[in-house]
Chain A
Amino acid sequence: MKEKYYLGVDVGSVSTNLVLINDKLEVKAYVYERTRGEPIKAVQNGLKLLVEKMGREVPVFGAGTTGSARQLSATIVGADVVRNEITAHAVAAIHEVPNVRTVLEIGGQDSKIIIIRDGVVVDFAMNTVCAAGTGSFLDHQAQRLGIPIEDFGDMALKAEKGTRIAGRCTVFAESDMIHKQQVGHPIEEIIYGLCQALVRNYLNNLAKGKEIEAPIVFQGGVAANKGIKRAFEEAIQHEIIIPTFYNVMGAIGAAILAKEKTDRTGKTNFRGFEAAEFSFQTSSFECHHCSNHCEVVSMKLDGKTVANWGGRCGRWEIGEVERLDFTVS
């Protein structure tokens, strides 16, 4: 029997990730690239890269999308499921570490904590107002120090201890860091101090009041940073598991959800890898039908509108609202 494949797409603020899993839920290929503010291009480029790795003939039986551009990417690939990042990340973490109880996820511009008990998400939190505890913060500081972000973690590991840096706010952290440089703290200790500041911020704000119990899985792009892992382990006093495909877990979750859905329905909406060549145009307009003045985004394929979103009343939406089924999983 021919192997079945499922596509997962996770388009976030910083990175765009695509994975292909088989029906045993093993990752067969993945792409991790920067979104660079152009999600359509990023998804199409991701599809091309997958074709380069796997060939055009891969039989895809289902596709799922997640991330902040989940609706947009769902339209491009023709997705069977469109799910929020929290569910997608939890599904992937449970698949990777079945008895997981806590998921720490830090991405480009958001961070989340997901509490799982007996394979069910029981609580979660996402950062609300500030990006001080996320990847962009580290990115920015690495740039300022003139260190490639890839080397950041290794440098942090060289430090014996971290310098204390105020991490509540990126602006204050930066001035504090400059001050520490001026008075002569070694660069490694400053870098590790930054990692500790980020972790402190995460634990004191986002994870406040949450019961962090082992096994703890740490995923998202920032999990690549060994300094952060070390800072977490020192703060929580427990070992932290980083899954093999830590940076594409959202996409894996979306692919697993797509498999579950298409197993049930027996059909897929996937457009095929040709979607990489389609020419999608987006435009936005302000609807003046009522006083809400919604900004509606309209997406066209070959001049034909394939999706609208952004309206509050459902007047423009073509796709249906997903009604949940409370009888089968």
Chain B
Amino acid sequence: MRLTFPHMGNAYIFVGDLLRRLDVEFIVPPKTSTRTIELGVRYAPELACFPLKVTLGNFIEGIEAGADAGIMIGGVGPCRFGYYAETQRRILRQIGYDIPMYILEPPTAHPLKFYRVFKQLCPKKTLRHLWKELRISWKKAVFIEKIEAYALKVRCFEKDLGSTTKAKKRAISLLENAFSETEIEKAFEEGLGLLNQVEKEDRVAPKIGIVGEFFILLEPYVNFDIETILGEMGFYIERSVFLTDWINPGTKAPVTGHSKDEVLNAAAPYLSHFVGGDGRQTIGHSILFIKEGFEGIVHLLPFTCMPELIAKSILPKISYDFDIPFLYLVIDEQTGRAGIQTRIEAFADLVRQRHLKNILPKKDKINWTQKGKIQPVGVNIR
């Protein structure tokens, strides 16, 4: 049995690492591309969420590459995400790929279901094994995300355009190839070193926060790599979603620097109950960004995403209350690059003009000479 699984940014490194440690054979599908999306769109219902279509395309390409089983995470609703795995299994069967689909339900909500799937995949391993290996893979995943988060913060200071992106890629591949715990720790230190060695220039960098639906935020191919575009324009970037925070919302050391409780408390005045997906987190992180002196916020969501649409209907009120500009980008297979580019450029101009007119207090502006304040380990600047 060779498992395949969908892409979501760098998630494949973590999933692959864990499967390798558990001696499960797997095939990583080709990276998400135009073809992936074409395949997904061809076979998925038109009004399904965009992430379902993209990940369906990943499964098809994984099967084409030789996989004969799929693994996917489940969910508890009320958003449609919990339905993806089952829907995709049926679609795949209809188009002639009758493969078993292993659905990992969240262990806290369905411990028994989770255990059963685990035993099917690794009959010879115990939960103790799983815990032992997961701990190391997890460390790798968190380090990769810390590298990503750090790159978002320092890209705006690079002297040569693209040098941060290059260093980040090298840092992540160091981590990808590290196996033992000490190797992973060493790779992380080296990776941070690579980012620190990128030649910097002292300049003023207004802060822009990116919030929204997790798949769109984590997969650069579908979000047009908006964080790199904005970073290279000269903005300091933070985003609200990281894979490890998302899988383990109770974490004591979130990559974003904000615990789940902190985020939900911040959201409470505007939205005090669960609406599915990350709707409440989008609101909470927006408020936290604003309180930290961010000068603009970009909200990304897939077309027909219910939780994010709820958030989107509340954000204008926040925008008005705090006098902070928001850019809303709805993304699906119909989204054109040119349209996104125009809006990003216009938004960047808008934030820049406001910055020049000093619409925000000066104390919240940062520059590279304050670099001691930029912490690679998910701590926010204060």
Where the two chains meet, the residues of A that have a C-beta atom closer than 8 Å to any C-beta of B are 68, 83-87, 118, 120-124, 126, 128-129, 209, 290-293, 312, 314, 320-329
Contact = CB atoms under 8 A, between A and B. Distances in A.
A84 B342 CA distance: 6
Given A120-B359, A293-B34, A326-B355, 12 more contacts: A83-B345, A85-B346, A118-B357, A120-B354, A120-B357, A121-B349, A123-B325, A123-B350, A126-B339, A209-B316, A292-B221, A326-B234
Contacts of A323: 161, 232-234
Given A323-B232, A326-B204, A291 B31 contact: yes
B206 interface: yes
Nearest to B205: A326
Contacts of B221: 292
B349 A321 contact: no
Contacts of B316: 209
9 contacts: A84-B343, A84-B349, A122-B354, A126-B343, A292-B33, A321-B232, A323-B161, A324-B234, A326-B203
Contact of B31 (A84, A290, A329): A290
A124 B35 CA distance: 33
Nearest to A69: B338
Contacts of A290: 31
Contacts of A321: 161, 232-233
Given A292-B33, A314-B162, A326 B346 contact: no
A118 B346 CA distance: 18
Contacts of B341: 84
A291 B33 contact: yes
B225 interface: yes
A164 to B, nearest CB: 28
Interface string B192-231: 0000000000011110000000000000010011000000
B32 to A, nearest CB: 8
Interface string B302-344: 0000000000000010010000010000100010001101110
Contacts of B31: 290-292
B139 interface: no
B33 A293 contact: yes
Given A324-B234, A326-B203, A293 B342 contact: no
A324 B352 contact: yes
Nearest to B232: A321
A116 B359 CA distance: 14
Contacts of B359: 120
A314 B169 CA distance: 15
B126 interface: no
Given A121-B349, A122-B325, A128-B339, A326 B33 contact: no
B356 interface: yes
Given A293-B34, A322-B233, A124 B350 contact: yes
B173 interface: no
A25 B206 CA distance: 31
Nearest to B235: A324
Contacts of A209: 316
- When A and B form their complex, which 3 residue pairs have the shortest distance between CB atoms, in order from nearest? A86-B346, A84-B345, A291-B33
A26 to B, nearest CB: 24
B348 interface: yes
B161 A320 contact: yes
Contacts of B338: 68
B350 A122 contact: yes
B353 A120 contact: yes
Nearest to A128: B330
User: Which interface residue of A293, A322, A324 has the most chain B CB atoms within 10 A?
Assistant: A324
Nearest to B161: A321
B158 to A, nearest CB: 10
A120 B358 CA distance: 11
B169 to A, nearest CB: 11
A124 B346 contact: yes
A120 B349 CA distance: 10
A312 to B, nearest CB: 7
Given A126-B342, A314-B161, A326 B356 contact: yes
Nearest to A326: B204
Contacts of A121: 346, 349-350, 353
Contacts of A118: 357
A329 B31 CA distance: 41
A64 to B, nearest CB: 13
Contacts of A84: 341-343, 345-346, 349
B188 to A, nearest CB: 25
A324 B348 contact: yes
A129 B332 CA distance: 11
Contacts of B349: 83-84, 86-87, 121, 324
Nearest to B295: A326
Contacts of B233: 321-324
Nearest to A329: B356
B30 interface: yes
B347 to A, nearest CB: 8
A291 B217 CA distance: 19
A119 to B, nearest CB: 8
A209 B318 CA distance: 13
Contacts of B325: 122-123
Contacts of B225: 312
A287 to B, nearest CB: 11
A85 B341 CA distance: 11
Contacts of B334: 129
B226 to A, nearest CB: 11
A10 to B, nearest CB: 13
User: Which interface residue of B225, B352, B354 has the most chain A CB atoms within 10 A?
Assistant: B352
Contacts of B339: 126, 128
